[in-house]
Amino acid sequence: MQDVFVKDIEKYLGQEVRLKGWVRNIRHSGKLLFIILRDGTGEIQTVAFQPDLGEEAFETAKRLTLESSVIICGIPKLHPKQEGVYELQVTQVQPLQIADVYPIGKKEHGPDFLLSNRHLWIRSQKQWALLRIRHTVYYAICNYLNEHNFIRFDSPILTPNACEGTTTLFELDYFDEGKAYLSQSGQLYLETGIMSFGRVYDFGPVFRAERSKTRKHLTEFWMMDAEAAFVEHDENMQIQEDLIRYVIRTVLSECALELQILERNTEALKAADAPFKRMTHYEAVEVLRQKGSDITHDKDLGAQDEVLLTEDSEVPVFVERWPKEIKAFYMKRDPLNPNLVLGDDLIAPEGFGELIGGSQREDDYELLLSRMQAENMPIDDYQWFLDLRKYGSVPHSGFGVGLERLVAWLSGTPHIRETIPFPRMIYRIYP
């Protein structure tokens, strides 16, 4: 008898097989017992008939509870009433552990209760579907980059200084070396990699010590940062667009069941796989003011501004060429207007907000040095970063994708806390 996974059950029709997993649901009706078994790859209904199983084994099976672990043997068959669905005719049931009364039931539970029981909540069907989409998005991003000449180049999590100031960083004592910080971006270190490999990316956890309580913020989250030599502003945005559209297609292709479980409107995702809109920051502000926002031309977009800006769009919207005062020191100035930088933010439709931040980087040593001096940055601490502009500097660009933000949009999940296995927020670090 062969051990098989639920996802492969159709390959074994008519053959006796062995499944190992957990009881998601159980009910009995007279001499019939129905057990919904999940094994991580999927779920299947198993049907036990008392005369076939034997009275003692049948009674043992009836004692199973929600989330009990079990081995079930049987013969896969087509479901008699549902096309393309399979069930298992049970020949043997072996309980491994009869679970205690499971604390998460069918009744409504509040978010605090569910988050406190996150170690159990992730077993639920919707959380299973959501985290499988996360898995698919992660690998889709990596696959796209690997196929387009990017090399994985891991940046450090512990850093001696900040990418954009220390006000939103976690600080710690680092042996006898003084203060260190948990990274909020691998960008600066990634720029070193392009001089060796041309195109590089990293993908891992980053940290922001902002006291944000919105549905779009986490304290610990995953970010993919990419940098590319000889890529300028417009090409940088095209790479971002091609990447996101590739991820959309991959999720639609590989996660049909998961999207169905989450009741995601897949037509909206299909519509988003089309050329993205582009507008300058100035144009975006003009549009927003016409829609009733009080934003001014020297301000960043707020969460409601992002919603207003994309409410009539089926595709994500690039906002580019931002005022230099509200963007980072390393962004290259627009040659047509030195008061602007060649930066972009990509805003998702359906109210899901910013997905990507990117820019062409300043490649001139003297210009970058003067900006750092103007911001009173500790030049000695960043000399290694300036060195990149002394030894073979080239035009280059990069961007960062927030994994949880992207997963939230693709899955239609309103709160980002469900897009990561164990969310860390300003009011939660358990479990």
| Encoded tokens for 401 | 């994708």
| pLDDT value of position 81 | 82
Cβ neighbour number for residue 85 with a 10 Å cutoff: 12
Nearest-5° Cα angle at 270, 268 to 271: 65
| pLDDT value of position 42 | 96
| pLDDT value of position 41 | 97
Question: In the predicted model, what is the mean pLDDT of residues 113-126?
Answer: 97
Residues 6+ apart with CB under 8 A from 365: 386, 389, 390, 393
pLDDT exceeding 90 applies to what percent of the chain? 92
| pLDDT value of position 59 | 95
Q: Report residue 287 CA to chain centroid gap.
A: 30
Instruction: Name the band, by pLDDT with cuts 50, 70 and 90, for residue 241.
Output: very high
Question: In the predicted model, what is the mean pLDDT of residues 291-310?
Answer: 96
> Is residue 105 scored above 90 in pLDDT?
no
Question: In the predicted model, what is the mean pLDDT of residues 212-238?
Answer: 95
**8 A C-beta contact, residue 117 and residue 104:** yes
Cβ neighbour number for residue 14 with a 10 Å cutoff: 7
| pLDDT value of position 164 | 60
Question: In the predicted model, what is the mean pLDDT of residues 389-407?
Answer: 98
Classify the phi-psi angles of 57: left when phi > 0, otherwise alpha if psi is within -120 to 50, otherwise beta. alpha
pLDDT exceeding 70 applies to what percent of the chain? 99
The H-assigned helical ranges of 216-332 are 233-254, 256-261, 266-272, 281-290, 303-310
When the pLDDT of each residue in the chain is averaged and rounded to a whole number, the result is 96
Instruction: Name the band, by pLDDT with cuts 50, 70 and 90, for residue 107.
Output: confident
Question: In the predicted model, what is the mean pLDDT of residues 227-242?
Answer: 98
> Is residue 162 scored above 80 in pLDDT?
no
| pLDDT value of position 213 | 84
Domain 2-97 has CATH 3.40.50.880: no
| pLDDT value of position 80 | 85
Residues 6+ apart with CB under 8 A from 204: 154, 155, 157, 186, 222, 223
Instruction: Name the band, by pLDDT with cuts 50, 70 and 90, for residue 293.
Output: very high
Least confident interval from 62-71, 155-164, 248-257, 272-281: 155-164
User: What are the residue boundaries of the structural domains of the chain, listed by start?
Assistant: 2-97, 118-419
| pLDDT value of position 264 | 98
Give the separation between CA 368 and CA 188, rounded to whole angstroms.
13
| pLDDT value of position 19 | 98
CATH fold for the domain made of 118-419: BirA Bifunctional Protein; domain 2 (3.30.930)
